[in-house]
Amino acid sequence: MANPTRHTGRWTLEDRFASPWHYLPVEVPAGAAGLRVELDYERVDGTVLDLGCLGPGGFRGWSGSARESFVITPEAATPGYRPGEIEAGTWQVMIGVHRVPPDGVRYRLTAETTQLSAALRPPSAPPEPPAPRDRPSRRALPAREGHRWLAGDLHTHTVHSDGVLTVAQLAALAAGRGLDFLAVTDHNTVSHHAELAAAAQRYGITLLPGQEVTTDSGHAGALGEIGWVDFRREPDDWLDATEAAGGLLSVNHPFAGPVSWLRPMRRRPPLIEVWHWSWLDLRWTTPLSWWLAWDAAAIPVGGSDWHQPGSDALPGHPTTWVECAGDEPGDVLAGLRAGRVAISAERDGPVLLRHEGDLIAVDADGLTMAGPQGPWARVRGDRARLPGRDGPHRLIDAGGATLALTA
């Protein structure tokens, strides 16, 4: 091992006021075959420091507050970080000063390199789970010729940020719940993208590359194979970068307690996560009012925000339905971009679709159709066709709870 680099000090509120992100340099010699970084700090009074890394060539990873250390080698890296060449020169360890007490917080950071390829290794991934044996069959929903409605979830996390499942474990879970597609949107990193294709093939599910661009005052879902979106820039830059690379941006959980959306924007992203697991009482109309006030033309989507059992909703709760011409990630993005989208509380619950100019309510017998002016029709039968009035529409139960919606 080379002589380690050490940084010690105290982060203060004044540091946080100056910038949410600070940088500690690490000089890496030529010929290095591995880099290990470890951060230690006093965890008192809700203190939270985030951890990330920039190499001489740019972004190498981010783990936020989910990890206290990381390893990068040419062949492998700690989840959240990109393996690859250990470039000689100045690396920057990113520290996010997220929450610090009034008196500040002491920290110690240690970085070490090695020229022996076997000296530093990230933890091995657990064995991949088997493919589910009793996968639910696809629902047959009315679609245009050559298209079909796919069930999915546009907001999930893995061990590459603060989730507990590997990409393979998450894919197996989602497939077992009958989902056709899943966007894997780890916080501020794209290291998980390298694992998506193999997991998609193994478990028979379409996996969309994604990144949840995450800051203290708003989260956004960047969907598509678009590369890393720099969360340190302004949201308008996130939108520009996503669009330039052919992806789609969503404002995520805009009304979710301490992680609600607070960021100004010159333009509006094409998607908005109207239905998030934090819509705890489906009688509330807050999500709908926020959507219509922000941008009534935005395409509504849903996301479970899955991290781990007991913390959020399971994948597919809610379910986002997209009418697609195929099963590839690009087909799902095309359906989203065209606004061929509906959302239901559950994958097997009532669904409300637009088809051939009408509104089609599936498995919704006895529910009420509500539009912008309120309830206007009772649903009769398991596949009811009603006039295709303009504006957002919902299926609600007798107590006013929303069970399905479409724009």
pLDDT in tens, 381-405: 999 999 999 999 999 999 999 999 9
> For the segment 286-338, what is each residue's pLDDT rounded down to a tens digit?
999 999 999 999 999 999 999 999 888 999 999 999 999 999 999 999 999 99
What is the DSSP secondary-structure string of 361-383?
Answer: EES-TT-EEEETTEEEEE--SSE
C-alpha to C-alpha distance for 206 and 200, rounded to whole angstroms: 6
> Is the separation of the CB atoms in 192 and 208 below 8 Å?
no
Question: Which residue type occupies 232?
Answer: R
pTM summary value? 0.96
Give backbone dihedrals phi and psi of 291, rounded to 5 degrees, phi first. -55, -50
Report the candidate in 50, 22, 62 with the shortest Cα–Cα distance to residue 216.
Answer: 50
Bridge partners (DSSP) of residue 321 are 151, 342
C-alpha to C-alpha distance for 349 and 260, rounded to whole angstroms: 28
Q: Which residue in this structure is represented by tokens 């920039």?
A: 54
Find the mean pLDDT for residues 28-34.
Answer: 95
For 289, 364, 390, 392, 396, the CA distances from 387, given in Å and listed in that order, are 24, 16, 9, 13, 17
For 33, 64, 248, 386, the CA distances from 158, given in Å and listed in that order, are 27, 13, 21, 41
> For the segment 86-125, what is each residue's pLDDT rounded down to a tens digit?
999 999 999 999 999 999 999 999 999 999 877 788 888 8
> For the segment 139-177, what is each residue's pLDDT rounded down to a tens digit?
999 999 999 999 999 999 999 999 999 999 999 999 999
Report the candidate in 216, 6, 10 with the shortest Cα–Cα distance to residue 100.
Answer: 10
CA distance from start to end of the chain: 59
Task: Please state whether the peptide bond connecting residue 102 to the residue before it is cis, i.e. omega within 30 degrees of 0.
Answer: no
Characterize 196-232 residue by residue with b for buried, 16 or more Cβ atoms within 10 angstroms of its Cβ, and e for exposed: beebbebbebbbbbbbbbbbeebbbbbbbbbbbbebe
